[in-house]
Structure 1
């Protein structure tokens, strides 16, 4: 009996001693769980705040870009259109453009090698001499003569070129106001040059021909041509060659001047840097 009571007392004592330890362990576990949960919640909150801040910044940037685009569109639609070009402006503009082109073209063509070293306007030997060159070019000295002849034809054109300036400039006075407006608004980059060509080409040919004829003799082109053709014409059964070097060179010289003038006109029409005056900017800057 005593033994049973003592055992019960012992068990009760052990249970009483274990209870505080178990309680302390449970409390510690609960505290750790709460702490972990709090840390996790804090980390999630920081990430959410960062994501929200990033989204807000992206929205602000998008709103700013949209506002800028709307402002630009509004400015574009509210900018008044330039005033219509007047006939007086068109006339002044096209004449100044041509005047500028004429001065440059004539100056360039008149310089030493202005024709000779410019691939755009270089004057070759006449096509009629191609068969002559093929036939007698193998003879001693003939190739040199052909080269000299070609150079001399270009020298003759360079010598005659200055005469074109006054003819061109005088022709500008005959451009009517109506014609000027049409030329300014044309989509062709050489419209004014072609218009000027129609009114001055024959006059230029008439003015150039005597000077080129004299230059051909002066630079020795006539002698070189005579030497070449005499050799060729001695060949039996060949049709004699008798070409007018003056006619051929005159036409080529006139063609070359219009090529140079067209190039200058195109620069003014297409390149803002070539519009060196207010009237050119007004007329061709639209």
Structure 2
């Protein structure tokens, strides 16, 4: 078993003086740091208003949904689309436990080929490395639970209702695809909404994992202690 003080000293050496660390110890420290950062990020985002109440990561409506929402807002007619945006953000908040587990699993399977280069890189080099090697696969894995939460939150139902309120005479029927019916077009938009929600949920996770990495590098003593507690399940 790794001695607590020995691990703490190793972590401090890695982040304070990267050249002093061995590759294996460096990679271990990077992984533990990323796991700790992921837990903190998903806990933050998974609470009520974790996404919707945070202007840095709040999820907007995608494409024409968003532009139509903006056009209707001054007219007081954007209620259904505002509701859809809220439910999208609530879905992202609800899916954070699944996102946490997926990201941590990806971290533990990473082969970090050049840990010292990562540590000598920018303030979020480890996060960028993680994202570049996992984002595509994580998106595919996160899609099913996101679909489930969008359904449970009523987001898909609201999308259908919003489509039903729009007709050609409103002047914005083009939003739903010209001559196609609003309801069939809304069904088409479910795919876009789901993909966008997954993408932006991961954007939020990686954003705050990066912020945790910045904090770790700025204060390696305190953050190494956090990693140590996580390593021993405390």
Shorter-chain TM range is 0.7 to 0.9
Partners of 2:175 and 2:223 lie apart in 1 by 54
Question: 1:153 Cα shift?
Answer: 0.5
The answer to whether structure 1 residue 201 and structure 2 residue 135 are counterparts is yes
1:105 — aligned with what?
41
Q: CA deviation at 1:83?
A: 7.5
Q: Distance in 1 between matches of 2:167 and 2:219?
A: 52
Q: Return 5+ residue gaps in structure 2 as ranges.
A: 1-16, 178-184, 229-234
Report what 2:155 is aligned to: 221
Pick the aligned partner of 2:126 from 184, 188, 192: 192
- Aligned pair partner of 1:255 in 183, 203, 207: 203
Instruction: Show structure 1 runs of 5+ residues with no match.
Output: 1-80, 281-286
Contact 2:150 2:156 in 1 (8 A): yes
RCO (CA 8 Å, sep 6+): is it higher in 1 or 2? 2
Shift of 1:201: 1.1
Once residues 70 and 46 of structure 2 are traced to their aligned partners in structure 1, the CA distance between those partners, rounded to angstroms, is: 32
Match of 1:20 in 2: none
Q: Distance in 2 between matches of 1:219 and 1:204?
A: 22
- Whichever of the two has the greater Rg, that structure is 1
Flag the 1:227–1:278 CA change in 2: closer, same or farther, 3 A.
closer
TM-score, structure 2 as length reference: 0.73
Q: TM-score, normalised by structure 1?
A: 0.61
Equivalent residues of 1:208, 1:250 under 8 A apart:
yes
Distance in 2 (CA, whole Å) between partners of 1:123 and 1:102 is: 19
Q: What is the CA RMSD across the aligned residues, in angstroms? A: 2.8
Counterpart mapping for 1:1-286 below 5 A: 84-133=20-69, 136-137=72-73, 142-176=77-111, 178-186=113-121, 188-235=122-169, 238-241=174-177, 242=185, 243=189, 244-272=192-220, 274-277=222-225
**Do the aligned partners of 1:267 and 1:274 also contact (CA within 8 Å) in 2?**
no
